[in-house]
Amino acid sequence: MKAKRRFWKKLRNKYKLSIMNETTFEEVMHARLSRLHVISALSMLAVVLVAATTVLIAFTSLRELIPGYPDRSLRRQITLNALRVDSLAIELERRDRFFNSIRAVIAGGEAGGDSTLGAPLVARGGYDTISMGASKEEQRFREMVEERERFNLTLGDWPPAASQETFYHCFPPIANGMITARFNEAIHHYGIDLAAKQNAYVSAVLGGVVIFSDWTLKTGYVIQVQHPGEFISIYKHNSELLKVQGDVVRAGEAIAIVGNTGEETTGPHLHFELWRGGKPLDPEKYVKFE
Q: 15-24, 151-160, 223-232: which has the minimum mean pLDDT?
A: 151-160
**10 Å Cβ neighbour count for 286?**
23
Are 148 and 233 in a shared domain? yes
Are 61 and 150 in a shared domain? no
Residue 262's domain comprises 136-285
Of the candidates 42, 67, 274, the residue with the CA atom closest to the CA atom of residue 158: 274
**Residue 107 falls within a domain, yes or no?**
no
**Residue 191 falls within a domain, yes or no?**
yes
Are 44 and 152 in a shared domain? no
DSSP assignment, residue 186? G
Q: Is the pLDDT of residue 120 over 70?
A: no
Q: Is the pLDDT of residue 78 over 70?
A: yes
Q: Is the pLDDT of residue 21 over 80?
A: yes
Q: How far apart are CA 204 and CA 254, in angstroms?
A: 6
Are 148 and 11 in a shared domain? no
- With beta carbons less than 8 A apart as the criterion, state whether 205 and 233 touch: yes
**Residue 257 falls within a domain, yes or no?**
yes
Q: Is the pLDDT of residue 20 over 70?
A: yes
Q: Is the pLDDT of residue 37 over 70?
A: yes
Q: How far apart are CA 142 and CA 217, in angstroms?
A: 30
**The domain boundary residue, chosen from 11, 42, 65:** 65
Q: How far apart are CA 191 and CA 181, in angstroms?
A: 8
Are 49 and 159 in a shared domain? no
Are 34 and 162 in a shared domain? no
Are 156 and 57 in a shared domain? no
Whether the model clears a pTM of 0.75, i.e. scores above it, the answer is no
**Residue 205 falls within a domain, yes or no?**
yes
**The domain boundary residue, chosen from 42, 65, 88:** 65
**Residue 152 falls within a domain, yes or no?**
yes
Are 176 and 262 in a shared domain? yes
Q: 2-11, 51-60, 150-159: which has the minimum mean pLDDT?
A: 150-159
Q: Give the helix/strand (H/E) hosting 28.
A: strand 27-34
pLDDT > 90: percent of the chain: 26
Q: Is the pLDDT of residue 80 over 50?
A: yes
Q: How far apart are CA 209 and CA 191, in angstroms?
A: 20
Q: How far apart are CA 189 and CA 193, in angstroms?
A: 10
Pairing of strands 208-216, 231-241: unpaired
Confidence of residue 245 (pLDDT cuts 50, 70, 90): very high
pLDDT at position 70 = 65
Are 275 and 151 in a shared domain? yes
pLDDT digits (tens, 9 = 90+) for 51-77: 988 887 777 777 666 766 666 677 788
pLDDT > 70: percent of the chain: 77
**10 Å Cβ neighbour count for 51?**
10
**Residue 30 falls within a domain, yes or no?**
yes
Q: Which residues of 64-82 are buried (b: 16+ CB within 10 A; e: fewer)?
A: eeeeeeeeeeeeeeeeeee
**The domain boundary residue, chosen from 41, 65, 89:** 65
Q: Which residues of 240-261 are buried (b: 16+ CB within 10 A; e: fewer)?
A: ebbbbbbbbbbbbbebbbbbeb
Sorted by sequence, the CB contacts under 8 Å of residue 257 that are 6+ apart come out as 199, 200, 201, 202, 238, 239, 240, 242
**10 Å Cβ neighbour count for 275?**
17
pLDDT at position 149 = 56
Q: Give the helix/strand (H/E) hosting 73.
A: helix 72-107
The residue among 209 and 56 whose pLDDT is bigger is: 209
The residue among 138 and 42 whose pLDDT is bigger is: 42
- With beta carbons less than 8 A apart as the criterion, state whether 236 and 199 touch: no
**Residue 80 falls within a domain, yes or no?**
no
Are 272 and 180 in a shared domain? yes
Q: How many domains does the chain have?
A: 2
Q: How far apart are CA 290 and CA 282, in angstroms?
A: 15
Q: Is the pLDDT of residue 271 over 60?
A: yes
Are 142 and 279 in a shared domain? yes
Confidence of residue 14 (pLDDT cuts 50, 70, 90): confident
Confidence of residue 30 (pLDDT cuts 50, 70, 90): confident
**What CATH number does the domain containing 275 carry?**
2.70.70.10
pLDDT at position 268 = 87
Average pLDDT, the chain: 78
**Residue 27 falls within a domain, yes or no?**
yes
Q: How far apart are CA 240 and CA 201, in angstroms?
A: 10
Confidence of residue 154 (pLDDT cuts 50, 70, 90): very low
